[in-house]
A and B are shown apart, each in its own frame.
Chain A
Amino acid sequence: MAEIKLKLKKKPSFPLEVDSITPDNFVGKTAAEIKKLEIYHGKDLVKLGDFFDVSGKSTDLKETTIIIDGDVSRAKRVGENMTGGEIIINSDVGMHVGNQMKGGKITVNGNADDWAGAMMEGGELIINGDAGHYIGSAYRGFWQGMKSGIIRVKGKVGNESMLWAKSSKPSNKWPTLYCGSAGAFLGIHNHGGTIVVEGDVDRCTGADQAWGTIVIKGKISRILPSYKKMGQVDEVELPNGEKIVGKFIEYSGDHSVNKETNGRIYIAV
């Protein structure tokens, strides 16, 4: 087990872009080498060591764990494109944490800003606080967002989470979001994503959903007029095989996309 500890030593005056902080970049490097990695501060290219104290070293990607301490709420793009290893962030974190990650695990012991886990292709992102908008969503103009992996948010996620999520049955990829509660337009343009909400959600959930499953254990402020009530169920089986027991009302939609649809929203009775 190789642990690398990063500690923010001074507060940046502008957001840092730390896309070099990934287990992939750290593997096989000593603390001194890691300090020399480049990050952006505003428009200045600086060294990671200018803002972080670094200790430990890494040998094998699977075994690499990066632990980040200090307030990194203005550090963007932690864990971008990572394929393995683990990152633990013991504070709030800035935008784009774990965006496009393909494997490994990120744990945020605080809140995450917008675009956390955007366009994820694998791995697991755990946020033990609230998250901003566009969680697990597609970037502007992309028609395929999160393709695989799991995001777990303890608190609330903002608007338009899981935008353009895309599952694949042949390759058994089921992008999934578990969250405490959610803002508006949850799962908009959903193409197979799975969303489980423990609490309440805001308006327009599942707007333009072509297919996919959204389970709401709390209340919905207003269901879209294009959803049709189907009946009551005692159990919901998610595409990944997981079963959720409880009384739910099943709605089909979004019927504004197609008259016949495999999109479903389950709302607790």
Chain B
Amino acid sequence: MVEKKIKTFYDVVCPFCGTLCDDLEVDIDVKENKVIEMRNSCQIGTKKFFSSNPGSHRYLKPRIKDNGSYREVSWDEALDKAADILIKAKRPLLYGFSSTECDAQSRGVELAEILGAILDNTASVCHGPSLLAIQDVGAPLSTLGEYKNRADLVIFWGSNPVHAHPRHLGRYSEFVRGYFRTDGRNDRFIIVVDPRNTHTAQIADLYIRVNPNEDYELLNAIRATLRGTEIDEKEVSGVSKEQIQELVKILREAKFGVIFFGMGLTQTLAHHRNIDTAICLVRELNDYTKFLLCPMRGHYNVAGANQVFTWNTGYAYSIDFSRGYARYNPGEFSSVDLLMKDEVDASLIVASDPASNFPAASVKNMFKHPLISIEPHETPTSAFADVILPAAFAGIECEGTAYRMDKVPIRLRKVKDAPGECLSDKEILERLIEKVKHKLGD
């Protein structure tokens, strides 16, 4: 009998972006333990699956830095050193968690509580402002299925799904046929608001070019016009008064509208206040028609990190356990602010790469102190770590749960084994908790 070399997995969930597509087909070379072919996935998702294949970029065994060079060690030795670093630290930071599954995130909360540490996830530098705004003024949200089946007006504000969430348009928001949108793209009016004429803007029905960092004023003018006030200015943020009036007419006459917003709103000047006023606009539009909004979450499980942290501590990110109980205050306990002020004396980074996207000054401060990295492959962060704990890719090499951008939990699947001695993030954190507890005499 011929040995079966290739195994195909159907309906695999893609652990890359917040869209969490659940219809991927993956061919695995069983003997070599490699991904050899992908179907249905977008470019970035495909790349992630292929990057899990064994190669020089993957860590196979735990490593410890000794006198500037790395040596491979046993799990016991590496975890021992990691536990020592964390226990010795007076203000340790646990950061990341957005590209791993919910069980691992939950263990992260447990470890932070034991250590009296700062606990933060990547929402701190992406959709954290959305959460702040939601806490201030609430938010009318829904699941993606509702938008797909009902929305006849779709607005992308400061987001570019063609590149960041490639299959979002095809699955939920633009081309897909829905229950009440039987003609797909022709049944929807697409508006893109962006300073740049992005590829998403190029396939929209209406493109509104807003001046960079002036979204707040534009949203404010739209709200005032909607409330029946004629604005004094002829032009707001590069958009004429007539165009604003025309836009308000379109918004009011829609049957079911949705605003998908991204980093273009949350990480430009005014940050959470952009979302604040966008939510207020949506709230006011519900006086005339049905309107909702949805954050375009980046990491596949950053929504999950917020959920898990919230059900464990009451807060979604920027949590401080230094007084034994959870406290929350972005700006005071958020990782970038703490690192900028050099108030962190050891960091544990889980499934994330702050060195690539934090301000240089804060990364410099992070590298000054002991750094532990739980990471499947080499990143600019792990390259400077004192202890590297090799992890399996969640959703490819181990199972777990992840939350889609609309907060729907989806079970991730395992399609192949992890190379070398890699363990799942959950198991690594469990072992680390055990070590820490043992050393603290619990």
User: Which chain A positions have C-beta within 8 A of B280?
Assistant: 208, 256-257
- Which residues of chain B from 311 to 334 have any CB-CB distance to chain A below 8 Å in the complex? 321-323, 328-332
Q: How far is the CA of A201 from the CA of B270 in the complex (A)?
A: 15
Q: Is the CB of A44 within 8 A of B90?
A: yes
Within 8 Å of chain A (Cβ to Cβ): is B224? Answer: yes
Q: How far is the CA of A188 from the CA of B91 in the complex (A)?
A: 34
Of A63-71, A100-108, A133-141, A146-154, the stretch lying at the interface with chain B is A133-141
Within 8 Å of chain A (Cβ to Cβ): is B440? Answer: no
| Proximity bits, B214-243, A CB within 8 Å = 1, else 0 | 001100110110011101110010000000
Q: Is the CB of A43 within 8 A of B323?
A: yes
Q: Is the CB of B330 within 8 A of A208?
A: no
Known contacts A140-B329, A204-B273, A207-B273; is A14 also within 8 Å of B220 by CB?
no
Q: How far is the CA of A125 from the CA of B31 in the complex (A)?
A: 72
Q: How far is the CA of A246 from the CA of B373 in the complex (A)?
A: 61
Within 8 Å of chain A (Cβ to Cβ): is B202? Answer: no
User: Which chain A positions have C-beta within 8 A of B132?
Assistant: 140
User: Which chain A positions have C-beta within 8 A of B328?
Assistant: 140
Q: How far is the CA of A133 from the CA of B337 in the complex (A)?
A: 13
Q: How far is the CB of B330 from chain A (nearest CB, A)?
A: 7
Q: Is the CB of A188 within 8 A of B273?
A: yes
Q: How far is the CB of B416 from chain A (nearest CB, A)?
A: 41
Known contacts A141-B135, A207-B277, A256-B277; is A42 also within 8 Å of B236 by CB?
no
Q: How far is the CB of B295 from chain A (nearest CB, A)?
A: 17
Within 8 Å of chain A (Cβ to Cβ): is B22? Answer: no
Known contacts A139-B329, A256-B277; is A226 also within 8 Å of B90 by CB?
no
- Which residues of chain A from 32 to 76 have any CB-CB distance to chain B below 8 Å in the complex? 40-44
Q: Is the CB of B329 within 8 A of A256?
A: no
User: Which chain B positions have C-beta within 8 A of A258?
Assistant: 227
Q: Is the CB of B136 within 8 A of A141?
A: yes
Q: How far is the CA of A140 from the CA of B129 in the complex (A)?
A: 11
- Which residues of chain B from 80 to 97 have any CB-CB distance to chain A below 8 Å in the complex? 90-91
Within 8 Å of chain A (Cβ to Cβ): is B417? Answer: no
Within 8 Å of chain B (Cβ to Cβ): is A87? Answer: no
Within 8 Å of chain A (Cβ to Cβ): is B103? Answer: no
Q: How far is the CA of A103 from the CA of B132 in the complex (A)?
A: 30
Q: Is the CB of B228 within 8 A of A259?
A: yes
Secondary structure of the A contact surface, majority rule: loop
User: Which chain A positions have C-beta within 8 A of B216?
Assistant: 203-204, 207
Residue pairs across A and B with Cβ atoms less than 8 A apart, 10 shown, are A40-B323, A141-B135, A204-B270, A204-B273, A208-B280, A225-B233, A226-B223, A256-B277, A259-B228, A259-B229
Q: Is the CB of B217 within 8 A of A204?
A: yes
Within 8 Å of chain B (Cβ to Cβ): is A15? Answer: yes
Q: How far is the CA of A142 from the CA of B332 in the complex (A)?
A: 17
- Which of A133, A140, A227, A258 has most B Cβ within 10 Å? A140
List 20 additional A-B contacts (Cβ < 8 Å) besides A225-B224, A227-B232: A13-B90, A42-B322, A43-B90, A43-B116, A43-B117, A95-B332, A114-B332, A134-B331, A141-B135, A189-B136, A203-B217, A204-B220, A207-B277, A224-B217, A225-B231, A226-B220, A254-B224, A256-B221, A256-B280, A259-B228
Q: How far is the CB of B384 from chain A (nearest CB, A)?
A: 22
User: Which chain B positions have C-beta within 8 A of A141?
Assistant: 135-136
Q: How far is the CA of A204 from the CA of B187 in the complex (A)?
A: 37
**Candidates A40, A160, A207, A229; contact of B232 at CB < 8 Å:** A229
User: Which chain A positions have C-beta within 8 A of B220?
Assistant: 204, 207, 224-226, 254, 256
- Which residues of chain A from 189 to 229 have any CB-CB distance to chain B below 8 Å in the complex? 189, 203-204, 207-208, 222, 224-229
Q: How far is the CA of A259 from the CA of B117 in the complex (A)?
A: 48
**Candidates A14, A185, A188, A225; contact of B236 at CB < 8 Å:** A225
